A and B are shown apart, each in its own frame.
Chain A
Amino acid sequence: MTMKPGPKFSAAVLWTLMIMGFALVPVLMSSSYQLNLASHVLVWGLFAVAFNMLWGVTGMLSFGQALYYGLGAYFVGLMVEYLGSAWYLPAIGIGMLAVAATSFLLGLLVIRVGGVYFTMLTLAFGQLAWQITFKWYDFTGGDDGIQGITAPGFLQNPIAYYYFLLVLVMLSMWILKRMAYSPFGLMLRCVRQNPERVRFLGRRVRRNQLRVYIVSSLFAGLAGSLMAGIDNSIHTDMFFWTTSGEVILMSVLGGLNQFFGPFVGAIAMIIIEDIVGAWTEYWSLIIGSLIMGMVILFPKGLVGELYHLKLRMMQPKAGRSE
């Protein structure tokens, strides 16, 4: 699994295509619902890609990223609720600062352990955060969530908000992509593959793990705060372990070893969930079997499989075993 950026040209094409594709949604859509769907795709896509910096790239399987997703959302939600929608945009910034601080402090605790213990510790903190938000009814609205979160001024127009969202998400993805292919990104992948060796290059493994933990959490937080403006309401679900689970599923489904894998995974997940959900009450059976099939048939994830299929078609020799 490599993460080599393609030639400039191809990368440029990729970005223009993707941005155009999403930019055209408001023009081509036949109903604002499709806009809503596309917005959900963008937010989850960003969340999943950010998460994959942690797992696919650095090999740290966190089961608690929902903590930061929820934190971002609730900063926006609560500040708008208590201080008025003028605070919407500042709240996004302040929320990210808070996320940075939290992820730094918790990071110091959680990165001390590896493997499944890291996973469990992150899960524990995530659930703790959920339980607190849930219990602190007077302040957070508990299980009722927060409603009427409206962005200020022209952003109240759903289409305007959609483009605002699109710009921020694409910008973040671009930043993450640069990181993934920068020396920092290379170092992270090395940390995953052979931490001992990294130490022997005179580099600190923990330090790098902490950095990527903060980065990933930061963008998870951004995704959350953007979500708040889409449905104008947020809910404690955003902190719940199932939310952390969702991004794991998306990443595996799309492919961990391609930068855009999780993004595609998010698209697939949301589309499947929506179509099947609308079609039958037995969605959980259908979706379960569907994903189960994909996991067993496409071990490299949707994008990964496409990539290797292409490879095999291009030069038969290149068929590698993994």
Chain B
Amino acid sequence: MDFSFFITQAISGLTMATLLFLVASGLTLIFGVGNVFNFAHGSFYMVGAYFGYQLVAIWELNFWIALVLAGLGAGLVGMLAESLFLRRIYGRVNEGGFQILLTYCLILIIDDLVKLIWGTEYKSLPRPDGFSGAVTFGDIYLPSYNLLIIAIGVVVVVASWWILTRTRPGKIARAAAVDREMVDTLGVNVPLTMTLVFGIATALGGMAGALAAPLRTVTPGAGIEVIIDSLIVVVLGGMGNFWGAWLGAILVGEVNAFAVAFVPKWASLFSFLVMVIVLIFKPEGLFSPRQVRKV
């Protein structure tokens, strides 16, 4: 296999991986920090994509402003959902099951709301100005928007790591994950913290949606397709571990990229195979969440 193809393929895998990670980052945050299994995370990704579409295609805002607003919007929806519904089931017996049930209901509701507002036609966004072209090194051909996404992924992983480990709010949030009551005694408003964390998580999901919109189809049901893959990534990396999620995503992305290149017939099996194999040998994920949980 010639070198330039190797690079191209690796980077295409990286693009996929990064988008996967950007969706998964919110999931892993709410998993590891909020101890919440948010099955509806994909729906927030979709909501973000639609907000992006609304802002850019209908209201003709600048893409970058739209990106931020879409994230905020999804975050607000998330906080609303958390404080209206999820909050009521914390601490129940079998909370896990209730989380699945409740967030599953969220998927159903959000799907129909999106349909009511934007209809069922496919939408899409043009790439932002200055990123519609490509960069070429010799015969390596790299779309600049893909490179941009990869860069954003790195920024997100570093930033969130820094916030969670180096700042007080981050530490509090992580403490809340270990023991909600304990943090309560520290005089921290736990319900508020949970709502905020949920908001940030869903905002990340929404931003990922808006960021992916120029490359994908904005359509009802778009959330369902991403949720399982990002779950895989979150589990691979060890729940609540940003670096883990990032590397997990890269693992899945690259394995998939080269599976496509060399065994295309079976490529679609690989992401699950990777998960199964990793979990058999390292049941708690590549990076056990403990490091993150420790305050």
Contact = CB atoms under 8 A, between A and B. Distances in A.
Does a CB–CB distance below 8 Å link A and B in the complex? yes
Interface residues of A, number: 40
Given A245-B100, A285-B112, A131 B268 contact: yes
Contacts of B89: 295-296, 299
B279 A120 contact: yes
A36 B92 CA distance: 36
Interface stretch (A175-183, A197-205, A248-256, A310-318): A248-256
B69 interface: no
B165 to A, nearest CB: 23
B9 to A, nearest CB: 22
Given A295-B102, A296-B88, A252 B97 contact: yes
A241 to B, nearest CB: 7
B111 interface: yes
Contacts of B98: 252, 295, 299
B159 interface: no
Contacts of A296: 85, 88-89, 102
A123 interface: yes
Chain A CB count within 10 A is highest, among B106, B273, B275, for: B275
Interface in B244-295: 266, 268-269, 272-273, 275-276, 279-280, 283-285
Main SS at interface, chain A: helix
Given A116-B239, A296-B89, A285 B108 contact: yes
Interface stretch (A143-151, A226-234, A286-294): A286-294
Q: Which bracket fits the contact residues of B?
A: 35 or more
A295 B37 CA distance: 16
Closest 5 CB pairs of A and B: A288-B108, A285-B112, A113-B283, A288-B109, A284-B108
Interface of B: 37, 85, 88-89, 92-94, 96-98, 100-102, 104-109, 111-113, 116, 228, 231-232, 235, 239, 266, 268-269, 272-273, 275-276, 279-280, 283-285
7 contacts: A1-B93, A61-B96, A121-B276, A128-B276, A249-B100, A282-B116, A299-B92
Interface of A: 1, 55-56, 61, 109, 112-113, 116-117, 119-121, 123-125, 127-128, 131-132, 135, 241, 245, 248-249, 251-253, 256, 282, 284-285, 287-289, 291-292, 295-296, 299, 322
